[in-house]
Amino acid sequence: MNNIPVREERTLRFHILRHNPQDSESVPHQQVFEIQEADSMTLFIALNEIRENLDSSLQFDFVCRAGICGSCAMIINGKPGLACRTLTRDLPEDIFLAPLPVFELISDLSVNTGKWMRAISERLETWVHNRQEEVDLQQLEAPMEQSLAYSIYELERCIECGCCIAACGTAQMRDQFVGAVGLNKIARFRLDPRDEREDTDFYELIGDESGVFGCLTLLGCEDVCPKELPLAAQLAYMRRKMASV
Partner 1 sequence: MQVIQTDVLLIGGGLAGLRAAIAARRRGHDTIVLSLVPAKRSHSAAAQGGMQASLANSNKGMGDNEDIHFADTVRGSDWGADQDVVRMFVNTAPKAVRELAAWGVPWNRVERGDREVIINGEKVTITEKDEAHGLITARNFGGTRHWRTCYVSDGTGHSMLYNVNDRAIAENIPVHERMEAMALIHDGERCYGAIVRNLISGELLAYVARATCIATGGFGRIYRVSTNAIINEGMGAAIALETGVATLGNMEAVQFHPTAIFPAGILVTEGCRGDGGLLLDGEQKRFMPDYEPEKKELASRDVVSRRMEEHIAAGHAAKSRFGDHLWLDIRLLGKKHIDTKLREVKDICQYFLGVDPVSQLIPVRPAQHYSMGGIRTNYRGESQQLKGLFAAGEAACWDMHGFNRLGGNSVAETVVAGMLVGEFIADFCDKPENEITISTALIRDCWQKESAHLQGLCIGGGENPFGLIREMQNTMTELVGIFRHGDRLQQAVDKLQLLLQRSNNLHVASQARGANPELVAAYRVPRMLKLALCVAYGALQRTESRGAHFREDYPQRNDQLWLKRTLARWPDADAILPSLDYEELSVMNMELPPGWRGYGAKDFINHPDAPRREQEIEQLRQSMAGASRFELQNMLMPYEQLMPERYRRRNARLGENERGEIEIRETGSGEKQ
Q: How far is the CB of 102 from partner 1 (least distance, A)?
A: 16
> Counting beta carbons within 10 angstroms of the beta carbon of residue 72, is it exposed (0 to 12), middle (13 to 18) or buried (19 or more)?
buried
Q: Should residue 117 be labelled a site residue for partner 1 when binding is judged by CB under 8 A?
A: yes
The residue within the footprint of partner 1, chosen from 29, 138, 175, 244 (CB under 8 A), is 138
Q: Should residue 222 be labelled a site residue for partner 1 when binding is judged by CB under 8 A?
A: no
Q: Should residue 130 be labelled a site residue for partner 1 when binding is judged by CB under 8 A?
A: yes
User: Cβ neighbours of residue 217 under 8 Å, at least 6 residues apart?
Assistant: 232, 235, 236
Q: Which residues ranging from 94 to 113 are in contact with partner 1 (CB under 8 A)?
A: 106-107, 112-113
The residue within the footprint of partner 1, chosen from 157, 172, 198, 240 (CB under 8 A), is 157
The residue within the footprint of partner 1, chosen from 11, 29, 131, 143 (CB under 8 A), is 143
β-strand pairing of 11-18 with 94-98:
parallel
Q: How far is the CB of 244 from partner 1 (least distance, A)?
A: 25
User: Cβ neighbours of residue 21 under 8 Å, at least 6 residues apart?
Assistant: 105, 106, 107
Terminal Cα-to-Cα distance of the chain (whole angstroms):
54
The residue within the footprint of partner 1, chosen from 30, 54, 94, 149 (CB under 8 A), is 149
Comparing CB distances to partner 1, the nearer of 222 and 239 is: 222
- Give φ, ψ of 130 to 5 degrees: -140, 125
- Comparing CA positions, the residue from 245, 122, 125, 144 lying closest to residue 193 is 144
Q: Choose one: 149-157, 163-171, 213-221, 236-244; the region binding partner 1 (CB under 8 A).
A: 149-157
Distance CA 58, CA 46 (A): 12
Distance CA 2, CA 218 (A): 41
User: By the criterion CB under 8 A, which residues form the site for partner 1?
Assistant: 1-4, 6, 20, 22-23, 39-40, 42, 51-52, 55-59, 61-71, 85, 87, 106-107, 112-115, 117-118, 121-122, 125-128, 130, 135, 137-146, 148-150, 152-153, 156-157, 159-160, 189, 192, 194-195
